[in-house]
Amino acid sequence: MHLKYCLVLFALFFALPASLIAQAQNIDFFEILPDAHYSLEQVRTTQGKGFVPYKKDMPFEADYYWVRFVGKNGSPYAQNVCVYTFPIFRNALFYYNYEKKAWAKVEAGMEIYTGHKRNNVHSFILQGGRQDTLYVKIKTAMLRKSPYLAAISLSMQSEKLYTEREQFLFLIWIATLTVMCAFFLYNLYIYFIFRDLTYLYYLLIVGSGMVYITALNHFFNVFWQARYFQIEVRPEGIYSVDINSLMLHLSILGVMTGFVQFTRLYLQLAYYLPAWNKVLLRGLWALWGMFLVSDVLTFSGVYYIDRLSSVFQNILILLLIIGLLLAGMRTYQKGYSPARYFLIANALPLLLMMLLAGYFSLYINSGVISIASNIALIVQTLAFAVALVARVNVIKEELKQKQTEAHALQNEKEHIIARNQFIELENEYILAEIISKQNEKEELQTKLESNQRELTSNALYMYQKNELLAELQKQIERLATDHSQPKEIIKEIKSTIQNNLYLDADWDRFKIHFEQVQPHFFKKLAEKCPDLTSYEVRLSAYLHLNMSTKEIAKLLNIAPESVYKAKTRLNKKLGKAGIETGV
């Protein structure tokens, strides 16, 4: 399908207007005269006899030369013609204007602004049915010091053919700019929507392409009035660079930079082909280095290297394009579907260039070359646009997938938020329970301390009461020695006191308070050692309170030695039952 379109375009080139292909006719015979600050009148009269026929091997001995030739018009009508002169530094054509009946002057050259794309065009009116003598003053000062000879050449063409050719090229240029500008603006809008760098590099390609066809058609000679150029004389001719050349180089760099960066991003080479990605990037840096060194040295006048470097630049550009195509093939083989559209976008313009190569071998014409470049750029712009449309579809699919993933993530996020809220409520409940338990624990601790204090107080009370009873017993014993009362009554008092010492009321009250502090003490003690006597149970309780031997003796109303013996027997029983001493 694409081959058919290319064949149609190829056929159209053979149908180009004849004016675009027609070449100017060379003027083979003319005469020259070295200038010595002559006026036109001197050249026509006094010095006119000094003209000699020009030969191509004649060296330049003056800064300016006068050229005399005859212009012939076989038509009976006046005709506008164009004369092209070379070299083209600063030349002036003199012809006789029959309307004004005076000699007229038309200047052209790279040193002056003429408003023409070409620097060597002299337009004037040639009378019909006449042979007019014409004079051209050609500047040759820049060629005098050259070791190589440069030839003077003249050619003539109908201004109608020249105008038709220029108008046709201008329309092609405008049409090309219109198409490319439309794609530029549309994809600029797309870039601001997606913010995709691929579109930005596409815009760089299109923008640089518009500068390229403008410089290739020499329109900067029309737009830019400033004049600057450098030349080099070689055996095969004179080479020159000017503002158009500089803009052409910059546009090529812009196109290749956009092309390489577009490819790297579009094909995702950093992921699929990291080695190719590095090679292409370094190749682009090398191309920038070659152009910058060449332009700086050439335009500064240090050394004219542009002609030599252009060969290596073209080779490197060709290698980069081949590398980009191979990268597209490799990524397509790896299953990356957008690579297919990339290959279509680049294979089509290259195929067109291959078909045009055959045409160029038949018609070597700058106008045709510029048209071919325009069409090649339009085809590539369209093909790239197709690739970008395919990329938009890929982006939309990726966006749809991302939206689905985002929706799933949003649901998961909402679930996590709800779960977090539940956990926070649960933590608040647990914290409230902890605070409640802590308060309850503090209350129990307070009650425990209160019971402990009361238990200790009761034990102390019992201790003091027993001390009182012991003192009473001593007093009674002293009364017994006095024989002031009957012995029977004294015995009865002693018996009553002795019995009161062993009442269980105080013990029961102590036991109640003790169990509030140690609720399972007596139960565990009975389970582990059931053969303990009530006396030993009471002793165990006192020992558990870390009471001293003397205090226990007072509470039990026995001697300290008896408490020590009782403790020894109790420890043996507890030890056999596996209970530590002082439970």
Q: What is the mean pLDDT of residues 243-262?
A: 89
The pLDDT of residue 145: 79
> Considering 159, 194, 228, which residue would you say is the last residue of a domain?
159
Q: Note the pLDDT of residue 182.
A: 86
Do 103 and 155 sit in the same domain of this protein? yes
CATH of the domain at 121: 2.60.40.2380
Judged against a pLDDT cut of 70, whether residue 502 lies above it is answered with: no
Residue 33 confidence (pLDDT): 93
481 in a structural domain: yes
State the CB neighbour count (10 A cutoff) for residue 455. 22
3 state SS for 132-185: EEEEEEEECHHHCCCCCCCCCEEEEEEHHHHHHHHHHHHHHHHHHHHHHHHHHH
- 53 and 115 share one domain: yes
- Same structural domain, 491 and 530: no
Nearest alpha carbon to residue 388 among 258, 198, 256: 198
The pLDDT tens digits of the residues spanning 347-396 come to: 766 555 545 444 444 444 444 455 666 666 666 666 666 666 666 666 66
pLDDT value, residue 488: 61
* 495 and 524 inside one domain: no
Helix or strand or coil: residue 378? helix
**Quick check: is 72 in a domain?**
yes
Closest CA to 389 of 254, 266, 209: 266
Query: Average pLDDT of 129-145?
Result: 87
Residue 324 near residue 259 (C-beta atoms within 8 A) = yes
Q: Is the pLDDT of residue 338 over 50?
A: yes
The answer to the question of residue 303 being in a domain is: no
Res 302 pLDDT > 60: yes
Q: Does residue 153 share a domain with residue 33?
A: yes
Is 449 a domain residue? Answer: yes
Domain stop point among 115, 136, 159: 159
Residue among 103, 100, 93 nearest 41 (CA): 103
Q: 343 lies in a domain?
A: no
Three-state secondary structure along 303-361? Answer: CCCHHHHHHHHHHHHHHHHHHHHHHHHHHHHCCCCHHHHHHHHHHHHHHHHHHHHHHHH
Backbone angles phi, psi at 76, to 5 degrees: -75, -5
Q: What does the block give as tokens for 541? A: 């309780």
Identify the CA nearest to 385 among candidates 560, 554, 540, 206: 206
Residue type for position 267: L
Please give the residue range of the domain that contains residue 462: 411-503
Choosing from 475, 503, 531, the residue where a domain stops is: 503
Residue 288: what pLDDT?
94
What's the pLDDT band for 524 if we cut at 50, 70, 90? confident
Structure tokens at 363: 């018609």
Q: How far apart are CA 289 and CA 313, in angstroms?
A: 10
What is the per-residue pLDDT across 84-93, written as a single tens digit (0 to 9) for each? 998 988 999 9
Digit-coded pLDDT (tens) for 179-193? 888 888 988 888 888
pLDDT above 90: residue 278: yes
Whether residues 486 and 415 fall in one domain: yes
Q: What percent of the chain has pLDDT over 90?
A: 14
Residues 534 and 452 reside in one and the same domain: no
How much is the average pLDDT of 127-155? 86
Query: What's the pLDDT at 14?
Result: 39
Would you say residue 461 lies in a domain?
yes
Q: Are residues 420 and 486 in the same domain?
A: yes
CATH number at residue 558: 1.10.10
Q: What is the pLDDT of residue 279?
A: 94
Task: List the single range of 188-192, 446-450, 487-491, 533-537 with lowest mean pLDDT.
Answer: 487-491
Q: Which residue has the higher pLDDT, 497 or 184?
A: 184
Neighbour count for residue 335 (Cβ, 10 Å) = 8
Q: What is the pLDDT of residue 361?
A: 43
**Least confident residue range of 157-166, 217-226, 486-495:** 486-495
The structural domain count of the chain equals: 3
For residue 475, give the H/E element and its range. Answer: helix 366-482
> Do 104 and 151 fall into the same domain?
yes
Whether residue 303 is predicted with pLDDT greater than 60 in this model: the reply is yes
Q: Please report whether residue 347 resides in a domain.
A: no
pLDDT digits (tens, 9 = 90+) for 417-475: 888 888 888 888 888 888 888 777 777 777 776 666 566 656 655 665 666 676 667 66
Say if residue 103 is in the same domain as residue 153: yes
Domain contains 394 = no
